[in-house]
Structure 1
Amino acid sequence: MPKRSPRTEDRGQAAIEFAGLITLLLFIGLTAIQLGLAAYAVQQAGTASRAAARAASQHDAGYVGVGKDSMSDWLADDAVIPPPEYFGDEITVTARVPIPAILPILDFGEAERSATMPRD
């Protein structure tokens, strides 16, 4: 029986290590992108709530349209802007924007922001 060299026993090990490492790096990269999308959705919800509150404080019945027009189109379609709340001389509008998911295991739900403006 011929003697085996130590190299034949390690054949393919580098490929397996590379596959495991590339999977981990890909997951970390997608997680970073997902966190960026979450931050962007929160920012867009804040923008929509401020614009809608400004319009509603001036007695504009189209405050929902104003809020959605201030957002990116691809997020505005699923955004929800419920009726405003009145507190004396102030009006508060809330905007809820679903956070898009790249990986199904990283579901952040919705971004919700409120803005309060004085009523005219």
Structure 2
Amino acid sequence: MAPRRTERLDDRGQTVIEFTGTLPLILVTLALLWQAALVGYTFSLAGNAADKGVRAGTVGGAAACRAAAGEDMPGAWAAEYDCGADGDLYRTTARVQVPLLFPGGFDLPISIDGEAAVPHEDRGW
């Protein structure tokens, strides 16, 4: 018995096949958006660390600068701080590694620098 015309042209299951084909594209897009959010958050962390470090360092020196810069840095982010005088300014640079997909795992081979500078506080009132 030959199949009827309606059974041959039936497209049941087509949606499942299309979804299965586009699922990897959807997952890659979500991963890229998540990575972009992590990069943006790393920019925010680096800038905040530099601002806090330079604020404390101009009065308390390099040790206070490093302590203040690392105070709000989450433990999963790798960061280095460079604090010191530069002429009439006190400068702080916070170099923060960008994590790959989730903090605490692997880092991308790029870092984001947050920089801040303020005039030295006059201590001789």
- Verify same fold: TM over 0.5: yes
Q: Which residue of 2 aligns with 1:90?
A: 89
Task: Work out which structure has the larger RCO, using CA pairs closer than 8 Å and 6 or more positions apart in sequence.
Answer: 1
Q: Which residue of 2 aligns with 1:21?
A: 22
Moved more, 15-24 or 35-44: 15-24
Distance in 2 between residues matched to 1:65 and 1:45, nearest whole Å: 14
Q: Which residue of 1 aligns with 2:49?
A: 48
| 1:13 CA displacement | 4.9
TM-score, with structure 2 as normaliser: 0.74
Q: What RMSD in Å do the two structures reach over aligned CA positions?
A: 2.4
Distance in 1 between residues matched to 2:13 and 2:89, nearest whole Å: 68
Q: Secondary structure at the match of 2:60?
A: coil
Q: Is the 8 A contact 1:101 1:108 kept in 2?
A: no
Q: Is the 8 A contact 1:90 1:119 kept in 2?
A: yes
Question: Unpaired segments of 5 or more residues in structure 2?
Answer: 103-107
Indicate the structure with greater strand content: 2
Question: Unpaired segments of 5 or more residues in structure 1?
Answer: none
| 1:17 CA displacement | 2.0
Larger Rg: 2
Identity of aligned residues (%): 28
Q: Secondary structure at the match of 1:74?
A: coil
1:62 aligns with 2:64: yes
Distance in 1 between residues matched to 2:109 and 2:31, nearest whole Å: 14
Moved more, 36-45 or 54-63: 54-63
Q: Which residue of 2 aligns with 1:72?
A: 74
TM-score, with structure 1 as normaliser: 0.77
